[in-house]
């Protein structure tokens, strides 16, 4: 007989974002889980607001939330051709990333 499992504290997607003075979204990312593993994906920053530290701020906020929910590790899902994004996550302390290419 299987033991009941405790619910995962990250049962749904959490969307983090930033808006400008006109209430328009300028940065967002999603924190989700794949089984017991929390992951950051869909990190996007409006081109007019790149290099303002918004992505780093979102990464730190999502990492803190994952830790608050009891997770020791968090992963990032990025495109393998995104060297600048990979560097961003490395700068934020990520050691392993899941590289995903999608044909559209």
Q: What are the tens digits of pLDDT across the range 23-65? A: 999 999 999 887 778 899 899 999 999 999 999 999 999 999 9
Nearest to 21, CA basis, from 60, 57, 48, 58: 48
Q: What is the pLDDT of residue 7?
A: 44
pTM of the model: 0.81
Q: What is the pLDDT of residue 102?
A: 59
How far apart CA 35 and CA 55 sit, in angstroms, is 25
Query: Are 41 and 53 in contact, with CB atoms under 8 Å apart?
Result: no
Rounded to 5°, the CA angle 78-97-62 comes to: 80
Q: What is the pLDDT of residue 91?
A: 94
Q: What is the pLDDT of residue 23?
A: 95
List, for residues 57-94, the tens digit of each pLDDT value. Answer: 999 999 999 999 888 888 898 888 889 999 999 999 98
Task: Please name the fold of domain 14-99.
Answer: Aminopeptidase (3.40.630)
Q: Can you give the residue ranges of every domain in the chain?
A: 14-99
Structure token digits, residue 11: 């049962």
On the question of pLDDT at 5 being above 50, the answer is: no
């Amino acid at each position: 007989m299987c033991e009941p499992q405790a619910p995962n504290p990250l049962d749904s997607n959490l969307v983090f974002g930033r808006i400008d003075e006109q209430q328009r979204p300028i940065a967002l990312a999603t924190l989700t889980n794949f089984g017991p593993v929390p992951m950051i994906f869909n990190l996007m920053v409006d081109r007019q607001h790149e290099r303002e530290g918004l992505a780093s701020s979102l990464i730190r906020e999502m990492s803190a939330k994952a830790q608050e929910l009891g997770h020791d590790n968090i992963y990032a899902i990025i495109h393998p051709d995104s060297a600048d994004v990979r560097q961003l996550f490395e700068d934020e302390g990520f050691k392993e990333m899941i590289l995903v290419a999608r044909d559209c």
